[in-house]
Structure 1
Amino acid sequence: MVYVEHHAQEQAMSEFTSARELLLHSHHGVLSTHSAKEPGYPYGSLLPFCLGADGQPLGLISELAQHTRNLRQNPKASLTLFQAAESDQIQAGPRLVLLGEAYFLSPAESEQLAPRYYRYLPSSPDYRLLNDFCFVSLQTRRLHYIAGFGQIRWLEASEVLKASPFLPLQENAMLEDLNTREAELLAAIWHKACGSAASEPVAIAGLDGDGGDLRQGSRLLRFDFMSPVADLEQAWHRLHAGEVRANG
């Protein structure tokens, strides 16, 4: 009985980790909202996103878009993420559905989180020049994870999503400094995390307590710290000491 319980705990932890890995490696998904125009019907649309400082998906949407009108009327929504299968068996790959409620950021919150969003999605419209765009966060309540055929589990948000230990303004300042002055360091981290030298300039898009994301052109590369960090000073020292590793 003890072995069975231990095995079940290990399997659950593995699923938590796998679900979080899929979330960390995803930067677009299918947003499903409740149609305001056709009541009772779901409405699906593509949503580019990054994770905000609270660990929740953060998107930039237009007030003219149908999904925004839907969310203004009913904030309940889901975001479906999936990993492309290497074969024609598309259902063999992992999928993650986040269920939650849309929260529209205030102007002050948008100013703090916009730099992070644009580091991940630099080709997105500039919301400051377009009055009809706004930032929205999906405040996730539960998640439904499908690892493959017959591997299905409901997860609580606290089991998968993690808030960053860094304040947005502090992260923005540190990453601006890294991207401006530390080109060689970022290239070295890319080499260590990727296994091959960078062919283009490397920038850092974001950091969290477990690691971060580097950008080279349109490609994002996730890396992990050797152990979690609690503040930006620890993160700074880990980066400069090369105490990072490939993720996945």
Structure 2
Amino acid sequence: MLPAIILVGALLFFTGWAVTFSFTDLGLTGRKAVEWSWVGLENYERLFTRKGFLESLWTTVIFVFFSAIVGQSVLGFLLAATLRGTVSTTRSVVEICIMLGWLLPDIVAAFLWSATTSQTGLINSLFVVPFGLKPINFINDFALPVVTLANIWKGTAWSYLLFVAALDSVPREIIEAAKIDGATRWQRAWLVVLPIIRPHIATNLLFITIWTFTYFPLIFAMTGGGPGRQTETLALFLYNQSFARGNLGFGSAISVAMLLIVGALSTVYLRMLREPK
């Protein structure tokens, strides 16, 4: 009980710290680090009057949707459903590939993807240069799709393992009864299996959305938010404003906004967890 109280207390303290300083012009260094003043809602007004926040928010929405919701969740489910009940070399190879992405440190994964997608990387060496084409700098020309694919590879293992457990929990008697009633494979999946594992789907979406929404290391190591601001998600925007530019007050406002957005998304997913009446 005591550890839980300490953890909750720490979370509330740092949340209160962020909310409090979001109303100030606190700086990381210099005079503003000591002699800061209250600025009211000025930092929150800046969120919506300057392009940086809204651009980063849109980039984050795209990144979360294609990387987590469409990429990790859908791919994880399809792999779990396809490989379920099979014992083969193909399944072992697929599981090794997706687990490798999950287990590798972010900095190592970032190096692998950066090296693979560079002008002298593996993709150009195998699929571009041999056909007499000019090498493509994927990490520069297609930065957001590249980091999205990298994050899908990094996170699909979680969704895969969760859906393997979810599908194994579906009673075989129900599936057999649906077969006897003449339900096709797709009807069994859509009308029988998916409703049963709906809580697992919502739980998976909740976790991967929060993780991806606040994800920082892989993108920072691969692109630093560039080129330009093409891959600057809210997490990188927060870092740049708070530490690169030293504006902790504005950075605190960004963190509060992110907390509210994550809270709203969590509420939606938690409603999905409730059993339909």
Structure of greater relative contact order (alpha carbons < 8 Å, 6+ residues apart): 2
TM-score by length of 2: 0.27
Higher strand proportion (structure 1 or 2) = 1
